[in-house]
């Protein structure tokens, strides 16, 4: 009896080490490519209602065959290796192959920072009926070069240092005093939700100086190229 107990304890310890090693391997491989992530998904499909040790042995044996074997070949291989649910699990794996790239994109998107993580929450803006002087003063005070334009809590445009310079360069002081922001403003900047990924925002910032962030239709913050650079290059 004592000998049997020792064998059971030793077996549990062996299984425990295999489980820990497998989990450690999965954590280490978070950044692997889509095919490698798909192989991990295959392991998860196989291990349901099957011992970890047996699943690990089958998984190691077939390896990339999960990606490249035909449906019938994979089914025969699983059956030959003594896998009990070879028919259903083959169907699951073959069906999942169609989504290898989508799996990779989804995993990447979940780990990617969102607009809400990097936006500047203090939203500095001007109203459409404000004078050009008020916009210049705000830019100087806050050391920024562009401002979103609001009209009754709605974003209606954008005004920047370049916009102002282009608008007043050929006008007299009297004409400049009569101008309001709505007379010179540019089109409205892009508006995204707090859950928008930084990869999308980065693309928008190639064409626009700022991106506005909203939640349930209400402005919550702004993202500039400086915000993006600060997030990407913290070190």
Average confidence (pLDDT) per 10 residues, the chain, 235 residues: 47 52 53 72 81 86 90 92 88 82 62 84 92 91 91 88 86 83 89 86 85 87 86 61
Q: In what order do the strands lie in the sheet with 218-224?
A: 191-193, 210-215, 218-224
Give pLDDT, residue 147: 92
- CA torsion, ordered 28, 34, 38, 44, to nearest 10 deg: 40
> How many Cβ atoms are within 10 Å of 226's Cβ, its own excluded?
12
pTM: 0.53
89 neighbors 45 (Cβ within 8 angstroms): yes
Domain positions in the chain: 2-110, 115-232
Q: Is the domain covering 115-232 a CATH 3.40.50.720 domain?
A: no
Task: Answer whether 2-110 and 115-232 agree in fold.
Answer: no
Give pLDDT, residue 107: 59
Q: What kind of fold does domain 2-110 have according to CATH?
A: Endonuclease III; domain 1 (1.10.340)
d(CA 131, CA 111): 44
Give pLDDT, residue 17: 58
Sort 117 into a burial class: Cβ within 10 Å, 0-12 / 13-18 / 19+.
exposed
d(CA 139, CA 162): 12
Give pLDDT, residue 16: 52
């Amino acid at each position: 009896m004592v000998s049997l107990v020792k064998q059971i304890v030793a077996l549990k310890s062996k299984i425990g080490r295999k489980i820990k090693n497998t989990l450690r391997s999965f954590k280490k491989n978070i950044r692997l490519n889509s095919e490698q992530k798909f192989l991990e998904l295959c392991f998860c499909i196989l291990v349901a209602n099957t011992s970890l040790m047996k699943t690990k042995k089958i998984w190691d044996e077939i390896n990339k065959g999960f990606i490249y074997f035909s449906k019938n070949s994979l089914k025969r291989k699983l059956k030959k290796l003594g896998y009990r649910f070879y028919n259903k699990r083959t169907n699951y794996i073959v069906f999942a192959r169609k989504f290898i790239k989508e799996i990779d994109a989804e995993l990447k998107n979940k780990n990617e920072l969102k607009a809400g993580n990097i936006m500047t929450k203090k939203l500095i803006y001007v109203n459409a009926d404000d004078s050009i002087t008020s916009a210049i003063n705000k830019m100087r005070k806050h050391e920024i070069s562009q401002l979103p334009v609001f009209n009754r809590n709605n974003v209606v445009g954008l005004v920047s240092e370049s916009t102002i310079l282009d608008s007043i360069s050929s006008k007299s002081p009297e004409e400049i005093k009569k101008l309001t922001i709505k007379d010179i403003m540019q089109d409205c900047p892009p508006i995204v939700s707090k859950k928008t990924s930084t990869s999308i925002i980065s693309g928008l910032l190639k064409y626009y100086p700022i991106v506005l962030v909203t939640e349930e239709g209400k402005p919550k913050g702004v993202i500039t190229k400086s915000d993006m650079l600060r997030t990407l290059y913290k070190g």
